[in-house]
Amino acid sequence: MKAQSILGSAAVGVGLGALLLPAAALADTRVSPATTPVGGTVVLTSTCNPKAGDAIFRVTGPDRDQNVRSTTAAAGGGLSAELFTAGFTLGTYTVATTCGDGSDGGSATFTVTPIGGAQAGAGGRDGDTGVLVAGGALAAGAVAGGAYVLVRRRRRAGVTA
């Protein structure tokens, strides 16, 4: 019971200093945001005890295995570092932290995604206002198909008339 109590206190960072080596195993790692467009910056944070020294965040993923050293004391306690994702391959990355005392600092994941939305349209045939009208209706989540069909039918009627 006593050991559990010590571990629990250490887990919330009550500041028992170097006596808490076993407790560091309960440290936690977070990544914010958990999803970023490629080129964005994520903040890696661990609850490692800063007094034990810098934490090392090991970032592994689709084509990457790099260590990032903590640079600042996190506002809420622990240590953090910023990671710039320019040049990262798209996919999910794992951040595994080693605290300054060599203990396990926990792990977390983040995902690198494409930038923005998709360019998924060409505006229809030149002068075909039916598609343009339909595109606007789509944005409103309305009856785009109906609008298009209506205009197309009118065009056909005009052609055949």
Partner 1 sequence: MVIPRIGVDAEIVAVATDDDGALEVPPLEHPEVAGWYRPGPAPGQAGNAVLVGHVDSTRGPAVFFDLGRLRPGDTVRVVRADGRTVAFTVDGVGAYPKARFPTERVYGGGAAARLRLITCGGRFDPRTGSYPDNIVVFATAAG
Residues that bind partner 1 (CB under 8 A): 33-39, 62, 89-92, 109, 111, 113-126, 128, 131-132, 134-145, 148
Quote the least distance from Cβ 8 to partner 1, whole Å.
28
Q: Give CA–CA dist 133/131, Å, rounded.
A: 5
Quote the least distance from Cβ 148 to partner 1, whole Å.
6
Quote the least distance from Cβ 93 to partner 1, whole Å.
12
Quote the least distance from Cβ 25 to partner 1, whole Å.
25
Q: Is 122 helix (H, G, I), strand (E, B) or coil?
A: coil
Q: Which is nearer to partner 1, 51 or 154 (CB)?
A: 154
Q: Which is nearer to partner 1, 19 or 122 (CB)?
A: 122
Pairing of strands 35-37, 104-113: parallel
**Secondary structure string (H, E, C) spanning 46-110:** ECCCHHHCCCEEEEEECCEEEEEECCEECCCCCEEEEEECCCCCCEEEEEEEECCCCCEEEEEEE
Q: Which is nearer to partner 1, 76 or 116 (CB)?
A: 116
